[in-house]
Amino acid sequence: RAKSAGGNRFELADPEADARAITRHGLTTALPTALERGEFFIEYQPLVHLGDGSVRGAEALVRWLHPQHGVLGPDRFIPLAEHTGLIVPLGRWVLEQSVRQAREWRELHGGADAMGPLRINVNLSPCQLTHPGLVQDTVDILERTGVEPDALCLEVTESALIGADDDLLKPLRRLAEMGVDIALDDFGTGYSNLANLRRLPVSILKLDRSFTQSMQQFPADPVDLKIVEGIVSLAHSLDLTVTVEGVETGAQAEQLRILGCDTAQGWYYARPGPPERLHELALVDATG
């Protein structure tokens, strides 16, 4: 620890940075036991059809109920889990839990209505993509739970796929061939070549929240509108579905609906919450 030796000139110790470092270190070492102790849990945020407002599914978002620090969001620990490799078993756990949850909704909800069964979106980290067990683990989980592959969507960020070679795309292609949807998450934040989209086995584009934020005013900035309009029409011409993230107001939802976006997600509809909440929302929806 740096101590000031006469005056403040060598006052290098930054208590806040220390606290951050200790927490980071502490969190990293606590991660493996956290999984064993069942300290992770999943919240679900509804995915809503922009045309009719119906709930079509949910995105699974992992949280850590830390015994000392309380509930931690994924941004606090996913990078650490990626760094230590724990992301592979953690990601597998999230996938299994979420798919089980989807099956439960399906049983409760009947899945008999015109909208079909609720779908489940699960985030994949780049480390999971390069892990050789991904396809088999996914197949096993779907078989064990009896959930059809087309009820599952795996979200991969645009940045994880930038410059992806065929080896990286192979497992995603296999999953896509089985009927699993692949979504390109946080689309528009990377610098991927739009023409590159043709090469990727994706069926859904998730427009990043920054686009939604630019729809704050109604009508929104004409240039922003043109950009989103362009992305949506390109996506549709490639047979991709467009989902928008971070919808916080009705005005944003309306604007994005007019622009042709298909599905939306955001606080305007619901914050991420427990699975019962999703079921309630879907049920209210189905019964009017």
d(C-alpha 205, C-alpha 95), whole Å: 20
Residue 207 contacts which entry, Mg ion, ligand C2E, none (Cβ below 5-8 A, type-dependent): none
Query: Which of 205, 47, 179 is closest to 119 using CA atoms?
Result: 47
Choose, by CB under 6 A, the member of 117, 201, 266, 275 that binds ligand C2E: 266
The answer to whether residues 232 and 261 touch, using CB atoms and an 8 Å cutoff, is yes
Tokens of 204: 């859904």
Choose, by CB under 6 A, the member of 117, 188, 272, 275 that binds ligand C2E: 272
Q: How far is the CB of 105 from ligand C2E (least distance, A)?
A: 18
Asked if residue 267 binds ligand C2E (CB under 6 A), the reply is yes
* Closer to ligand C2E by Cβ: residue 76 or 173: 76
The stretch among 67-75, 131-139, 168-176, 189-197 that binds ligand C2E (CB under 6 A) is: 67-75
Strand partners, 59: 45, 121
Alpha helices in the chain (DSSP H): 15-36, 74-84, 87-109, 126-130, 134-145, 158-161, 166-178, 209-213, 222-237, 250-258, 275-287
Q: How far is the CB of 185 from Mg ion (least distance, A)?
A: 4
- Quick one: DSSP state of residue 288? -
Choose, by CB under 6 A, the member of 26, 51, 73, 250 that binds ligand C2E: 73
For residue 15, say if its preceding peptide bond is cis, omega within 30 degrees of 0: no
Burial class (CB in 10 A: 0-12, 13-18, 19+), 276: exposed
Q: Residue count at the site for ligand C2E (CB under 6 A)?
A: 23
* Closer to ligand C2E by Cβ: residue 7 or 271: 271
What is the chain's Cα-based Rg? 21
* Closer to ligand C2E by Cβ: residue 17 or 71: 71
Contact positions vs Mg ion (CB under 5 A): 123, 155, 185-186, 245
Choose, by CB under 6 A, the member of 94, 183, 205, 220 that binds ligand C2E: 94
Tokens of 202: 């994706």
Asked if residue 46 binds ligand C2E (CB under 6 A), the reply is no
The answer to whether residues 118 and 152 touch, using CB atoms and an 8 Å cutoff, is no
Asked if residue 245 binds ligand C2E (CB under 6 A), the reply is yes
The interface mask with ligand C2E, positions 163-192, x = CB under 6 A, is ----------------------xx------
The residue ranges that bind ligand C2E (CB under 6 A) are 45, 61-62, 73-75, 78, 91, 94, 123-125, 155, 185-186, 245-248, 265-267, 272
